[in-house]
Amino acid sequence: MSADARRAIVRVAHSIHCRGLTHGRTGNLAVRDGERVLVTPTGVSLADVDADQLSVVALDGAHLEGPPPTKEAFLHVAMLRVRPDANAVVHTHSVHAAAVSCLSDIDADNPIPPLTAYYGMRVGTLRMLPYYAPGDPAATGAVEDAARVTHALLLRNHGPVVAGVDLDTAVDALEELEHTAQLFFLTRGLATSPLTSAQLHAFATPSGRNPS
């Protein structure tokens, strides 16, 4: 696996932890490198990720090299398999997005309204999946089906999973999702004016709503 991919994972992992987008030993990242995927290992805080201690898996999820991968590696490879436009996936338990995933009165096809232009540009369409226990590969089919529609998913009672053309793009989208989830709670119960379908459509690109 390329040294550049390893350095990118370490840089982004440390940044995510420093910015409070994850906590403890939660959250994981993946980068596609040809037919193989570099993934953060199991049981390691993103603050402590090391370039020489990353896992390598195949696109079918088979462990090829390095320490055991995160038990949620299947989420990453499932999204990468069905999204040829994506080369990276980021999953966190960021507080406000995770809180939205716990609400009972949420529309799974539109769990967070598109309240800002940057949400429209970087996230666009968000889908919430049914609950699966963390690490349960039974979620694979649901992840693949949803990822064919959008690069941004919300796992019920869990957190967001976002794919991008590279790690920085995926993290930008994830951070915008978290920020908009916070706005959602700040404005809940108040009249809001989310972006219209036409306004969202204006942000669409050939590779999905995932701008650089």
- pLDDT at residue 204 is higher than 80: no
- Token pair for 26: 């939660």
Residue 205's pLDDT is 58
Residue 2's pLDDT band (cuts 50, 70, 90): confident
List of domains in the chain: 3-201 (3.40.225.10)
Looking at the annotation, which residues are catalytic? 72, 118
Distance of CA 30 to the CA centre of its chain: 10
CB atoms within 10 A of CB 204: 14
Residue 181, classed as helix, strand or coil, is: helix
- pLDDT at residue 103 is higher than 80: yes
User: What is the identity of the amino acid at 162?
Assistant: V
What would the pLDDT profile of 61-81 be if each residue is shown by its tens digit? 999 999 999 999 999 999 999
What would the pLDDT profile of 116-173 be if each residue is shown by its tens digit? 999 999 999 999 999 999 999 999 999 999 999 999 999 999 999 999 999 999 999 9
Cβ neighbors of 28 (< 8 A, separation 6 or more) are 39, 40, 46, 70, 72, 73, 76, 91
Do residues 55 and 38 make contact, with C-beta atoms less than 8 angstroms apart?
yes
